[in-house]
């Protein structure tokens, strides 16, 4: 097989890049290790920044998002048993976020890819990227029981933290920066309408809690738990009781609706950044290059930012023959990645109880929350980061 851009991974980054390249008249092939059913059922993020919403609309993938997504104009912070809302449009020149699950974004992009786009091969397991520094790198992969090669001009690794694209970077070139947080999230899906109109981020008695939603009839909630927690150790009643405790306020005019819990999972919290995001003719995007804790809702949106920047660079090269934007891809993306990493770190440490935290540490974190509640400039900085910094 021969193509211009080989894309490894059919998550939102790989699929959106393929769509943007198609619209720019650049041919590509997408290789995905898993089945279509598996890819369309992976539970991931659900908050779309304004820029993510805009690019999905612009590339023709926004119809169902606009019909079913829930536009949110702010979030609520809870601490010291009090509530404080941060409104986004008035702090960000009209920007907002949309609740629309990553699984649905992927379904929409797959449908477009199969109907209109370049080849998308499921159960195509990428084995290695060869000759990454040459003008024509090669991706070796297996598909339909036999090994094949995909010859190309460029390779884009959208294959996640455990993918093969990053392995094409020599050890002496690749730098890794990591932080593992000393707690995890116990997440549930519940068949009950959300108890709030906007997300609630709570630093309550016992630790962090988040109230989110997947639809008007399905709630998504999270609890801070110790690393190594087994979801089976948490009964439904225990989960609801703990959520009640962490969301509690003194005004008493809000209550948490309970319903059947349909899934439970534990997500470790970590930050990971790989530099650079380009080696030779191999580019990394999304989780292949960086992971952030989910507190700031940046993971999916960072992946989208990566491929927007990369698609623009490929389009510029296609039209002009210039490598200028391709050469600046890694530096440009990493500036944004580190800002998102910093924001996610700040949100995480501010809202979570740290193991062994003393009274001084607690008061400092709560003071940060009070500053957000009292200062328009501080709230504006949070709103700007949450809704998405400009490219």
Q: Tell me how far CA of residue 98 lies from CA of 31, 46, 54, in angstroms.
A: 29, 8, 11
Structure tokens at 105: 């974004």
Task: Give the strand order in the sheet containing 70-72.
Answer: 47-48, 97-99, 70-72
Q: Spot the catalytic one: 100, 183, 201, 222.
A: 201
**Chain centroid, CA 43 distance in Å:** 11
Q: Which residues contact 216 (CB under 8 A, 6 or more apart)?
A: 70, 193, 194
- Could you confirm whether 222 is annotated as catalytic? no
- Could you confirm whether 317 is annotated as catalytic? no
Asked whether the CA dihedral 366, 336, 386, 180 is positive or negative, the reply is negative
Q: Spot the catalytic one: 72, 211, 290, 317.
A: 72
Q: Spot the catalytic one: 294, 317, 329, 352.
A: 294
Neighbouring-strand partners of residue 273: 177, 290
- Could you confirm whether 107 is annotated as catalytic? no
Neighbouring-strand partners of residue 221: 188, 211
- Could you confirm whether 201 is annotated as catalytic? yes
Q: Tell me how far CA of residue 92 lies from CA of 3, 225, 290, 384, 391, in angstroms.
A: 41, 33, 26, 6, 15
Contact yes or no for 215/253 (Cβ under 8 A): no
Structure tokens at 282: 């191999």
Question: Is it true that the peptide bond before 276 is cis, omega within 30 degrees of 0?
Answer: yes
- Could you confirm whether 131 is annotated as catalytic? no
DSSP string across 287-303: GGTEE--GGGS-HHHHH
Place of tokens 């509690």: 248
Q: Spot the catalytic one: 154, 222, 329, 386.
A: 386
Q: Spot the catalytic one: 290, 298, 317, 352.
A: 298
Catalytic (active-site) positions: 72, 201, 294, 298, 386
């Amino acid at each position: 097989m021969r193509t211009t851009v080989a894309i490894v991974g059919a998550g939102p980054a790989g699929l959106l890049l393929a769509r943007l390249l198609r619209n720019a008249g650049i041919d590509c092939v997408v290789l995905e290790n898993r089945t279509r059913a598996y890819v369309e059922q992976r539970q991931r993020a659900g908050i779309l920044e304004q820029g993510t919403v805009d690019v999905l609309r612009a590339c023709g993938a926004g119809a169902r998002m606009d019909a079913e997504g829930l536009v949110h104009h702010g979030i609520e912070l809870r601490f010291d048993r009090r509530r404080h809302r941060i409104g986004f449009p008035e702090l960000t020149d009209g920007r907002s976020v949309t609740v629309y699950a990553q699984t649905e974004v992927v379904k929409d992009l797959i449908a477009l890819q199969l109907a209109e786009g370049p080849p998308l091969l499921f159960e195509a397991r990428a084995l290695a990227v060869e000759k990454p520094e040459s003008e024509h790198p090669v991706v070796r992969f297996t598909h339909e029981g036999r090994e094949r090669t995909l010859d190309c001009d460029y390779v884009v690794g959208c294959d996640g933290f455990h993918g093969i694209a990053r392995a094409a970077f020599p050890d002496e070139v690749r730098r890794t920066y990591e932080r593992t947080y000393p707690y995890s999230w116990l997440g549930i899906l519940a068949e009950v309408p959300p108890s709030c109109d906007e997300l609630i981020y709570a630093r309550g008695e016992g630790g962090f809690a988040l109230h989110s939603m997947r639809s008007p009839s399905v709630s998504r909630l999270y609890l801070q738990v110790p690393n190594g927690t087994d979801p089976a150790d948490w009964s439904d009643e225990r989960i609801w009781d703990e959520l009640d405790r962490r969301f509690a306020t003194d005004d008493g005019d809000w209550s948490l609706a309970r319903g059947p819990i349909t899934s439970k999972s534990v997500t470790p919290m970590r930050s990971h950044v790989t530099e650079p995001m380009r080696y030779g003719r191999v580019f990394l995007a999304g989780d292949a290059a960086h992971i952030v804790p989910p507190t700031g809702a940046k993971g999916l949106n960072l992946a989208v930012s990566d491929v927007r920047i990369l698609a623009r660079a490929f389009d510029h090269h296609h039209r002009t023959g210039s490598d200028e934007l391709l050469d600046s891809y890694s530096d440009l993306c990493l500036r944004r990645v580190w800002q998102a990493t910093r924001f996610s770190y700040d949100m995480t440490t501010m809202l979570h109880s740290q193991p062994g935290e003393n009274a001084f540490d607690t008061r400092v974190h709560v003071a940060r929350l009070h500053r957000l509640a009292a200062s328009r400039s501080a709230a504006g900085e949070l709103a700007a980061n949450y809704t998405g910094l400009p490219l």
